[in-house]
Amino acid sequence: MKELQRQVSDRYKVSPYLVLFLISSIQIGVGVLGFQSNVVNIAGNDSWIAVILAGLLIHILIWIIYKILKYGNGDLITIHYDVFGKWLGGVFSFVWILYFIGIGVVVLRTFLQVVQVWMFSDINMFWVTSVYLILIYYLVSGGFRVVTGVAFLGIVIPSYLILSLIYTLEYTNFNHLLPVWNHSYRDILSASQTMTFSFIGFSALLIFYPYIKEPEKSKVWGHAGNLYSFILYLIIILITIAYFTEGHLVRHYWPTLTMWKTVEMPFVERFEYIGISSWGLIILPNVCLAFWAASRGIRQLFRFSQRKGLILILLLTLGANMFISSHDQLVTFNEYFSQIGFYLITCYLPFLLLMTYFRIGRKKKS
Amino acid sequence: MKKALLILIIVLLSGCIDQRILDEVRLTTAVGYDPGENDQIKVTAVSPFFQADKSTINETFTVLTPLSKDAKHKFSMSNSKPFVSGKIEAIIINEELADNGVLTIVDGMIRDPSIGSRAYIATTKDEVSKLLQGQYSSQDNGMFISDTLDHNIISGSLPRTNLHLFFNDYYAKGKDPFIPDLSQDKNSIKISGVALLKEDQIVGHVNQDQLFTFKTLVQKKTENDTFLVDINDEDQALLFKISSHTDYDIQNLNNNPEVKVKVKMNLTIREYSESELNEKKIIEIETAAEEKFKEQATNLIQQFQELNVDPIGIGQMASAKSRQWNKEQWYDQYPDINFQIETNFKITETGVAE
Amino acid sequence: MNYELNRSGDIMNFKKWFFKHHKEQNPKNNKAEVDDNLFDLLKQLRGSNDFKEVVIKDGIKKVKLFYFHSLVDRKILHRDIIPYIKKEQVNSVEDVREVVPSENIETTSDVNKIQNQILSGSCMVQVGENSQSVALMRAKINKNRNVSIPEVEFSVVGPKEAFVESLDTNLNLIRKRLPIPELRIEEMTVGKITKSKVAILSIEGITNEENVNTLRERLQSIEVDSIIDSSYIVQLISDNQNSPFPQLIDTERPDRVAAILTEGKVAFLVDGAPHAIIAPTTLVEFFSAFEDYFLNWITASFFRLVRLFGVFFSILVTPLYVAVLTYHYELIPKDLLGILVTSRREIPLPPILEAIFLELAIELLREAGARLPTKVGQTIGIVGGIVIGTASVEAGLTSNVLLIFVALAALASFTTPVYQIGNTIRLIRFPFLFSAHLWGLLGVSICFCFFMGHLLRLTSLGRPFLEPIYPPRVKDFKDAFIRLPWTFQSQRPVEVQAQDTMRFNKKKAKEKKEIDE
């Protein structure tokens, strides 16, 4: 039995500016490959407005999270403990831990689905999942510094992929964006709700906050990280709308990959295979950070070894990955999960802020 | 040590996935579809047979099948190597078959991730299996057709087209697709024009000598093409297009639409039948070119309106301007729209000699 | 910044699952500890035939000289010691000190010390038969290789001195380059049997004491009984001993050692080893040749980038060939298809076997070349390469395209300036190759992630190994992939956390001349 840890030793902490990479790396994942068709399905050529709205919403939520953490002075688990007490707080914490595990499962499973559909239809799901889980175990057991390192390299190394978008400009027609705002408010709002699913991972901040040196300073970096991924999503949706006509776009599950098909260089064609392989690195920070947060949560909540918690999560993921066996199941799972995630971050977080303020923040001030 | 052991275990236990080693598959570079007997489809696949002396022999395989997708399986049954579709460069459909709808044939292509979106889709009046059988060059016919279309798009009169653009146009509201029309010409393949599609059925054609105008109309910016102009029924001038810019201005969108087509073009004189060339002559050539272009453009647009097809995408442009735009209503109006063509041609160079 | 030092924790855990834990066995104590008695020591030493015992003077008090003739310079003995003792009256050990005109004399009765000294080349004078106190004089024979040209880290320009096997000479080579009182040399012995002398070098006021302390602790904790070369120590004190990556740089250039000491790093030398070991280090440092600093910064930066490209090319080109040809034929541009298919047309082996065959052939050539005398080795390399390459293409075992790739990859891997990392690159190509065969490009990507994770976890003397890439330190990029001009190098690398971070005043160095003034 371990103690609830409220302070983290300085040697495990990371510099505040790395929060930029932590936030944006967990937001840029499998979503980038296929978020367009979901959004365009609802909001058509106005989808980019939905992306902007979702991005702004996340900025507000990040602000809320920083407020909660400032009043609560700790991580999500200690705040739950302090605000709601041992049992109720424990239940809430448990939900969040499940949610973090869910993020990891969704990301990994969706990526492997892409691999299965586009590259190797007969790949052995069990083995490729296992190899990924071993990799994740190896990385996460290196501690938060290594996870941050993965987040950093997971943004920096694949950034060359942005250049590949230049090749798609050949086929773009930005008239597709016109007329602006020919969809109803409802459509656009519901599209931005769909969109938030891609941004969802940033809530890991609730757990890794104590691991930041001078966490107050990291605020601006947190927002910068969100801004980076938000602009990236915006550029991609703009190019996608211009590249496809609407009816064509919604026929594709993964428009980004389809767009890569037109990339042609003297030494390589059909860039989507390179893209998918590079995505193997991009999803890594998503999963690592989510599982790190979940295992850290388990360590704090159940007070047992984070390493054992991690192994438990990985086994659970392996089971879940084997269980979801078809594309339809995956889509259903994604839908349910995004619904839960959406309400968790948009409704629960403001609620938690109020509770934290009244239970802890106000006392502190007086 | 740990890693090595794990990797070894995985290698031993999982085995490998289905390999597609480059020289152990039959690369298909072109597929052709002909109508067969009993409502079946005759599918022809072209595969290069690379010789040791770096030349390539064109090999074709033909099967009859009720479903176009089933063909791959049937091909592989009668060959020593499995057929793969990842390198298909050209999809050619016989026009007779296209009457039943192109989409039933190519719909599988949108689902198959291994097919590139730069592949060409074309049609022909000739029998496709015969067209694909000839040895036209030191390449196989998939590469040959793809290269022929490629360079005609870059510097020729063929407007940009490929599988991606075909699907884009097909699914677009207010635009109709077109695909190149090929024909066999003695010992070669010739681009004989462009086939116009309504939905996924061929309804009309644009001839080769109209392609210059067609490309200029369809594509906003074009370059590198030649245009032969008769002046006063005696002289002829061969003009080279450096660049063109086409703008559509749609007015009065809601009740009685009018479309202004503005074409700006920079040209040079490549050949002139007379030896002397002065400023006056140049203006003469310019006017002649403009007139010929206008005439052709008016004819083309009239043809489109008669067929009620919109390869230019006027409807798409209109839809970008109005929130109330409606597809059915638009196609009702379309045949009666008044087009005005304004041209502004400039001959900027006359070559290096006086 | 400190990294978590759980060096082999994971491995131990893993082993626990699979293997029975062996009980630590203590080696039987060698007779390292000497009996207190001088008599016993002498008795033991007499067991060796090269131990000499000469009576110089017979009298009331016998004066006896003891030494190993294999360790002692007889010239010194006959010129500087024996004549003086014979000439003068010697009644006690103190007298010996008086009569012999040398500063290297000490009197002691400490048996341990006597043993050590005799065994390291001193001679012992005993006055009187059973006296416990003796005089020890250094008469060590100096038979060393002369300082010669560096062979592994050869540079066209710059100094041409390399370390030799003598610690004193090596220290001299460094100290003459750093004539400052702050240069601190700390000696210790390591290894129960070999008693190897190790000297830690650092500069007071610049080097971070933490680095020196960590190094000292690690050296002290070495348990292995015989240290024949510095490379033993490198393997023993590395942060992660189960890594294919070297975590300490060894160099044979005294100028390089002097330069890194001024940067705030620590170095150590081992007696009998012609290499100095530098710590802490980073991955990037392994790809910088010291010659880079002798060249103009633009050229130097270009060469560094070429080398870096060489490394990636060398690791990835064959795996990518295997991945693309086995799974991803779609990626090949249509104009290249013909070339690739024709080159592989008659080859019965799948790409992986073809690649392994060629890689192994190259490895064999390298290994044979390394084990043979230089001249023969070169011949083997060239003849073997040409003959085997041509023959295997003609026999239809390998394709000529792959032959070109493998040969280029081998060439590229020779560009690494540090020998150890060159070996690593040779090795890590194989996991990439196998994973490429298994899952194509995805396999390459997964394998890359494993190595990335491994490098992220690695530390060198507790400092992050991947710095300045991660943790990202923009300041240290001035001397990483490219080398900026000297005026930009005014700060010591952040990596070493030096006490004094400034090397010189940047402003003064950067002051620009006014035009025509």
Q: What is the CATH number of the domain that holds A286?
A: 1.20.1740.10
**ipTM (interface predicted TM):** 0.94
Q: What is the pLDDT of residue A59?
A: 93
pLDDT value at position C513?
66
Q: Mean pLDDT score of chain C, rounded to an integer?
A: 84
Q: For residue C340, is it within any domain? A: yes
CB pairs under 8 A between B and C: 75
Note whether C152 and C275 are within 8 A (CB). Answer: no
- Helices C167-175 and C254-263, axial angle in degrees (round to 10): 60
B189 has a pLDDT exceeding 50: yes
Contact present, C423 and C360 (Cβ < 8 Å): no
Distance from the C38 Cα atom to the nearest Cα atom in chain A, whole angstroms: 53
Q: Of the residues C114, C138, C162, which one is the last residue of a structural domain?
A: C138
CB proximity under 8 Å: B 39-78 to C: 48, 50-52, 54, 56
Task: Determine the residue of chain C that is closest to A130 in CA distance.
Answer: C446
Give the pLDDT score at C156: 87
- Least confident range from B68-72, B264-268, C152-156: namely B68-72
Per residue in A41-64, pLDDT (tens digit) is 998 888 999 999 999 999 999 999
**Nearest residue to B162 (alpha-carbon basis) of A37, B154, A250, B60:** B154
Determine, yes or no, domain membership for A5. Answer: no
Answer whether C470 sits within 8 Å of A149, measured CB to CB: yes
Listed ranges B197-211, C305-319, C392-406, C469-483; the one with the highest mean pLDDT: C305-319
- pLDDT digit string (tens) for B14-63? 556 778 888 888 889 999 998 888 888 888 999 998 888 778 888 888 88
Give me the percent of chain B exceeding a pLDDT of 70: 93
Domains contained in chain A, number: 1
- Return the pLDDT at C512: 65
Residues of chain A with pLDDT under 50: none
Segment C321-345, tens digit of pLDDT = 999 999 999 999 888 888 888 888 8
Which residues of chain A does B117 touch, with a Cβ-Cβ cutoff of 8 Å?
258, 261-262
Between CA B120 and CA B166 the distance in angstroms is 9
Range C280-290 burial, b when 16+ CB lie within 10 A, else e: bbbbbbbbbbb
pLDDT reported for residue C505 = 78
What is the structure's pLDDT at C509?
63
pLDDT classification of C34: cutoffs 50, 70, 90 = very low
- Top residue of B9, B11, B21, B27 to mutate, by most chain C CBs within 10 Å, is B21
* Res C243 pLDDT > 50: yes
The torsion defined by the Cα of A336, A338, A344 and A347, in degrees rounded to 10, comes to -100
Which has more pLDDT, C27 or A15?
A15
CB contacts of A245 in chain B (<8 Å) are: 168-169, 171-173, 175, 316
Which whole number is the average pLDDT over C14-23? 49
CA of A149 vs chain C CAs: smallest distance (Å): 6
* Residue C374 belongs to some domain of the structure: yes
Which chain A residue has the Cα nearest residue C320? A274
| Residue where a domain terminates, one of C107, C138, C169 | C138
Cβ separation of C329 and B87 shorter than 8 Å? Answer: yes
Q: Domain for residue A361, yes or no? A: no
Which positions in chain B touch A182 (Cβ < 8 Å)? 323
Give B316 to chain A, closest Cα distance, Å. 8
**Residue A362 within any structural domain of the chain:** no
**Measured between CA atoms, how close is C1 to chain A, in angstroms?**
7
Share of chain C above pLDDT 90, in %: 26
Q: What is the pLDDT of residue B5?
A: 65
The band of B68, judged by pLDDT with boundaries at 50, 70 and 90, is: low
Instruction: Give pairs for C376-382: CB < 8 Å, separation 24+.
Output: none
Task: State the pLDDT at residue A51.
Answer: 92
List all chains that touch chain A, counting a touch as 3 or more CB pairs closer than 8 Å.
Answer: B, C
What CA–CA distance (Å, rounded) separates A115 from A101?
Answer: 21
**Beta bridge pairs of residue C183:** C203
C3/A277 CB distance under 8 A:
no
Kindly state whether A169 is in contact with chain C, defined as any CB-CB distance less than 8 angstroms: no
Mean pLDDT on C388-399: 85
Q: Residue B353 pLDDT more than 70?
A: no
Residue C245 has what pLDDT? Answer: 93
**Which domain does C127 fall in, by range?**
38-138
B114, B10, C448: which is closest to A121 by C-alpha?
B114
Please answer yes or no on whether A119 and C4 come within 8 Å at the CB atom.
Answer: no
Note the Cα C299 to chain centre separation in Å.
Answer: 27
Q: Do B22 and C14 touch (CB under 8 A)?
A: no
Query: Whole-angstrom Cα distance, residue B217 to residue C241?
Result: 70
Give yes or no for residue C27 having a pLDDT over 80.
no
Chain-chain contact of C333 with A264 (C-beta, under 8 angstroms): yes
The C-alpha atoms of residue C26 and residue A259 are separated, in whole angstroms, by 66
Contact B52 C332 (CB under 8 A): no
Mutate to test the interface with A, among B171, B200, B314, B321 (most CBs of A within 10 A): B171
Q: Write out pLDDT tens, residues B292-343.
A: 899 999 999 999 999 989 999 888 888 888 888 888 888 888 888 888 999 9
Q: Is A363 part of any domain?
A: no
B14: distance to nearest CA of chain A, Å?
7
Interface touch C330/B4, C-beta < 8 Å = no
Q: How far is B15 from chain C (nearest CA, A)?
A: 8
User: Domain range holding A342?
Assistant: 10-350
Give the DSSP per-residue string, A151-168: HHHHHHGGGHHHHHHHHH
Calculate ∠ Cα C128-C134-C140, nearest 5°: 125
Number of domains in chain C: 2
Average pLDDT on C284-300 reads 89
C442/A276 touch (CB, cutoff 8 Å), yes or no: yes
Is A54 within the bounds of a domain?
yes
